[in-house]
């Protein structure tokens, strides 16, 4: 399956459950994952509160899919999105799906797509139920795009909220570090070194919502470098070529002084 920037992706947006605030940044993020050959947004577009979507849909070439509400309290939009997703899935032309919603109703859809061997990228707010996040190969909080617009100037521990627990409460930084250390142990060679790319992939399989940008670090490697008390990094050039590969191993914290921990 293609997983690089040439991957064919279907982007399906639950507009009843999303806003235009993060749309441009969201599409830029998706562009790093592959080509969004299909872009559709689902909603009852007769609702006045969705008027702001009109210009945005046009400027980003997103096809609006109209779905009237049949009954109060029932979300017909979800059903429409799911039906279209299954139609696209069976066409066999896509390498993955981007599901933009904070609604747990799409949990089974994500599972079904993955059962066919396709990758699922989920995007939603921080209140998204854990079940939907875990059903995705990778889940990105839309609030990440808000943080990227800011220039952080705060103590790291004051903004180190990252991973969610079962009841969607933030886990402290020590839990996040423990997760990374466990991933390194799982992927390490006999000398304790592990390529950081497989390490990050391992973490995403355990916690799809893992994202170093929630710590104000654009790259996973930058996050690791911020904690020299726990992680040691080195650069290698396998096979003598010019392609640099970063490796990491767990450092024995007791041998490092507290002064070495830079935040």
Could you tell me the CATH number of the domain that includes residue 223?
3.30.420.610
Same-domain pairing of 35 and 146: yes
Report the domain count for the chain. Answer: 2
CATH number at residue 105: 3.40.50.1010
For residues 172 and 245, state if they share a domain.
yes
pLDDT tens per residue, range 8-51:
999 999 998 888 988 988 998 998 899 999 999 999 998 898 99
Looking at the fold, whether 90 and 20 belong to one and the same domain comes out as yes
Same domain? 9 vs 75? yes
* Pair 10, 124 in one domain: yes
Instruction: Say if residue 144 is in the same domain as residue 157.
Output: no
pLDDT in tens, the chain (263 residues): 454 568 999 999 999 888 898 898 899 899 889 999 999 999 999 889 899 898 899 989 999 999 887 655 457 788 999 999 999 999 999 999 999 999 999 999 999 999 999 999 999 999 999 999 999 999 999 988 875 555 433 333 333 334 444 444 445 678 789 889 999 998 999 999 999 999 998 888 878 888 888 888 899 999 999 999 999 999 988 776 678 899 999 987 534 444 444 44
- At 254, list the tokens: 């007791």
Same domain, 58 and 159: no
User: In terms of domains, do 183 and 138 share one?
Assistant: no
Asked which of 102, 117, 150 is the last residue of a domain, the reply is 150
Same domain, residue pair 83 and 4: yes
Range of the domain at 211: 153-263
140 & 159 share domain? no
Which string of DSSP letters, residue by residue, matches 41-109?
EEE-TTSGGGTTHHHHHHHTT-EEEE---SSTT--HHHHHHHHHHHHHHHHT--SEEEEE---GGGHHH
Do 145 and 193 belong to one domain?
A: no
Q: DSSP assignment, residue 248?
A: E
Same domain, 56 and 96: yes
Location of structure tokens 């726990």: 230
**170: which DSSP letter?**
B
Of 128, 150, 172, the position where a domain reaches its end is: 150
Domain boundary among 125, 150, 175: 150
Phi then psi dihedrals of residue 41, to 5 deg: -125, 130
């Amino acid at each position: 399956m293609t997983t690089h920037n040439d991957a064919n992706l279907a982007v399906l947006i639950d507009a009843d459950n999303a806003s235009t605030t993060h749309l441009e940044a969201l599409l830029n993020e998706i562009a790093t994952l592959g080509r969004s050959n299909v872009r559709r947004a689902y909603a009852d577009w007769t609702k006045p509160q969705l008027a702001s979507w009109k210009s945005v849909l046009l400027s980003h070439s997103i096809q609006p899919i109209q779905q009237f509400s049949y009954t109060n309290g029932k979300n017909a939009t979800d059903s429409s999105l799911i039906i279209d997703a299954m139609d696209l899935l069976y066409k066999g032309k896509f390498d993955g799906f981007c599901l933009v919603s904070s609604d747990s109703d799409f949990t089974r859809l994500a599972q079904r797509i993955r059962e066919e061997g396709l990758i699922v990228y989920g995007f939603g707010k921080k209140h998204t139920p854990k079940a939907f996040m875990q059903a995705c190969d990778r889940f990105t909080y839309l609030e990440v795009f808000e943080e990227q617009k800011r220039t952080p100037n705060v103590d790291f521990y004051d903004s180190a909220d990252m991973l969610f627990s079962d009841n969607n409460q933030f886990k402290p930084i020590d839990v996040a570090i423990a997760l990374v250390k466990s991933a390194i142990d799982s992927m390490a060679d006999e000398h304790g070194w592990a390529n950081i790319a497989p390490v990050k992939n391992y973490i995403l399989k355990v916690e799809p919502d893992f994202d170093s940008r929630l710590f104000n670090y654009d790259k996973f490697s930058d996050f690791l470098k911020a904690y020299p008390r726990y992680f040691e990094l080195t650069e290698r050039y396998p096979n003598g070529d010019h392609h640099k590969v970063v490796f990491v191993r767990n450092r024995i914290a007791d041998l490092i002084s507290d002064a070495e921990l830079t935040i």
